[in-house]
Structure 1
Amino acid sequence: MPRPMKKPTPLVPAALAMTLVCSACGAPDAPESPRDDLATTSRRGATFEEFLSTVQRDSNGQYVYDGDMPARDMADLRRAWEQLSPKDGALTVDQLNAALDNTWKNGEQLNLSYCVSNDFGANKQAIVNAMSSAGAAWGAQLLVNFVYVAAQDANCNSQNTNVFFDVSPIVNAPYTARAFMPGYARAQRTVFITSSALNSSWPLAGILTHELGHTLGLRHEFLRSGMCYASSEPQNWRGVTPYDPGSIMNYPYPECGGTGGTSLSQSDVEGVSQLYGSRVLARPVTATGCGEIAAGKGLGVGELIYSCDGLHYLSFTAFGVLQLVKVIPTSSGYTYQTTWSTAASTSGQAGYGMYMQGDGNLVIYTGLMRPLWHTYTGGRPGSTLQLQNDGNLVIYSPQGQPLWNTGTGGQ
């Protein structure tokens, strides 16, 4: 039963954190878990901005939605919106609901420990070697770690809680190998491998690299082409990168449109870096204060900065889009209007961060340092990005000369 609350006051939004997630694969090799596409907030019952206009704060500073439901911070509010306003759909990531990617949280992906069952018998060493190769492939450039704990092999089953998951044999299965998705309970976290995997035309290391992709939340790439088993899989997913037939998450067979299957593609690495982080490129140093992003600072996924009057904000969304939004006070709260964005250039491109470089260039990079968009203002060291109270976003040289702007002043 709701408890009486102090009279709330309207909320001025503070942050629009968006989290990315992936889902399991379908009929041939993994259990499914319903997810959803995050690419835009259109087609939802309410956009996040509309939801924020209904949120209030009580006299203790507590965010309140749906009358009496508390939220600790803006991230909690986004999770609530994702659950209350479900949406109707390279790398293809699974989703928990309308706007929440199905990924490991709180650094769990940094210690994905596993054992390999002794029940593989004479085939065990081949499994150990292939798992080592697959785990190393994902961890080489990405902030994920698959850790083999050989000491647990003698008791390697789904009840062993000394490891995060187990790798076990299975017979009479309608697949070659099968994995699990983020969020599964320990009893469900098993990578199953059949004896046929050792004799497949798809190399064992490739098969297990594919399966470990599912454990990170990735769906089958052929969902996007409509080939293979696409029609039998849940359609709750979003594309993190452009369609890639060479993705490890495709099946390397003509009927599935796959052209790779033995190693990670560039889009595999760039897509997962957006979800978990990159070893190649550090996240941007977050800008502080209001209205300015100085040289050497930037915005990571889900971060934003406000103009000093609080009526405009610049955000780098979970979809790799840099967008400028106007906050419009109304008699009932606030509405939000996007006045400028890089969506035409960077949406669906696995943008990793926005960087105001020391040379004066504003750049959006992928996790492999591939530039997706920039302002062509390099060669002016010490320049800064200013979000003005008039709504214009401007790069100024150290001498105060405007070098680039969005042309949104007064909008």
Structure 2
Amino acid sequence: MKTFLITFTLAILCHACAQEKKDKASDLVYLNSSANLDKQNEFYQDSLIEFDDSNKVYFDQSIGFDRFINRYDTVIIDQEIFFIVQGDLLLDMDEMVDYYSTYFNDTTQYEKLVIDVLPDGKINKMPNADQLTYAVVRSSFPSENEYKSVVRYMAEATRNWSDILPEKVAFKHLSYLDDQLRPSQQHPDVTFTIRHYNSGGKFVAAAFFPHYSKYRWKVRIDPSYYTTRADKVGVLRHEIGHILGFRHEHIRAEAPIDCPREDDTTFDPLTSYDKVSVMHYPCGGFGDLNLAFTEKDIKGSRLIYN
């Protein structure tokens, strides 16, 4: 199955997602444990055949699926196994099978951000983005203070996105559902839910992309979120970027070599490289722990939500 995605500097992902390798000097830990990252990075180098001057990457297709998935950390949520990829995204087994087939694509390019479209020609972005609703599942949080902190930070982060995309992106917190919903429960009035989940520090926060099945539309907050050096609102601004379909900025060829790489399909640019984008991890001396919007972020996002 063909993968479709759009990236800006921000980038919209459609089907298969790829792994990240982490700058170990940074403690902005969206990513997997350092031991597992070492395993992922070793796999990346072992499977790499060529990274040439045209920025095309070629991989050894003899790498087996078992070895491929073994490089990823996993979490079990509601009795289902998820693989942690790209540091802050969760894929189920079916999605990993799809990604395995796209990973070994000898036309993968890293010099550009890209726009891909669905077979019907439509961009795969968040539908009805001007009427997004969410609930924060109070019962999932260990303490009232943690719950209230997430409510407050999420309100600011969503307002930040609405401010740069007026009348195009809007969020509403349906707080009356916070006490009614259980962690695994869906509600027809809610676009997505936010819940506490202890991953053991494998991620700080994890979100989803618009192409995920609706039952997967959840944002999960790890206990490490409350102690990370990164700006708490900024972390959620970054995660909302994924919800709106935007990918990581540091996958580009212009990013430092020690920044995480993602392996996906071809993509084309909407803006030039932005080393301090809200979607850029702190790595290789680039990125910003504030995870604030830049002019390029605003320009790129308005090209998609216009």
Name the TM tier (shorter chain).
0.5 to 0.7
- 8 A contact 2:250–2:261 mirrored in 1: no
Which position in structure 1 is the counterpart of 2:237? Answer: 209
Which position in structure 1 is the counterpart of 2:286? Answer: 257
- TM-score, length basis structure 2: 0.59
Q: Are 1:220 and 2:242 matched, yes or no?
A: no
Identity %: 24
Partner secondary structure for residue 102 of structure 1: coil
Letter in 2 for 1:214: H
The residue correspondences of 1:2-401 to structure 2 (distance < 5 A) are: 22-23=12-13, 26-31=85-90, 89=109, 92=113, 95=116, 101-105=123-127, 108-118=128-138, 119-120=140-141, 121-122=143-144, 123-142=146-165, 143-154=168-179, 155-161=181-187, 162-173=189-200, 174-224=202-252, 225=255, 227-228=257-258, 230-251=260-281, 253-255=282-284, 257-259=286-288, 261-277=290-306
Which position in structure 2 is the counterpart of 1:81? Answer: none
Give structure 1 stretches of 5+ with no counterpart: 1-18, 36-86, 278-411
Structure of higher RCO (CA pairs closer than 8 Å, 6+ residues apart): 2
Which position in structure 2 is the counterpart of 1:15? Answer: none
Q: How many residues align?
A: 204
Structure 1 stretches of 4+ with a deviation exceeding 6 A read 32-35
Q: Which has the higher strand share?
A: 1
Report the CA distance between 1:267 and its aligned residue: 1.0
Single out whichever of 167-176 and 212-221 deviates more from structure 2: 167-176
Partner secondary structure for residue 115 of structure 1: strand
CA shift digits 1:88-128 (9 cap, x unpaired): 65x956746687643123xx111111101112223011101
- 8 A contact 1:115–1:165 mirrored in 2: yes
> Could you tell me how far apart the structure 2 residues matched to 1:238 and 1:28 are?
23
* Bigger Rg, structure 1 or 2: 1
Q: Which has the higher helix share?
A: 2
Report the CA distance between 1:152 and its aligned residue: 1.1
- 8 A contact 2:205–2:220 mirrored in 1: yes
> Could you tell me how far apart the structure 1 residues matched to 2:290 and 2:151 are?
19
Partner secondary structure for residue 219 of structure 2: strand
CA shift digits 1:336-375 (9 cap, x unpaired): xxxxxxxxxxxxxxxxxxxxxxxxxxxxxxxxxxxxxxxx
Letter in 1 for 2:130: L
Report the CA distance between 1:233 and its aligned residue: 4.0
- 8 A contact 2:229–2:289 mirrored in 1: no
Structure 1 residues 236, 153: CA separation in 2 closer, same or farther (over 3 Å shift)?
farther
- 8 A contact 2:130–2:170 mirrored in 1: yes
> Could you tell me how far apart the structure 1 residues matched to 2:153 and 2:114 are?
24
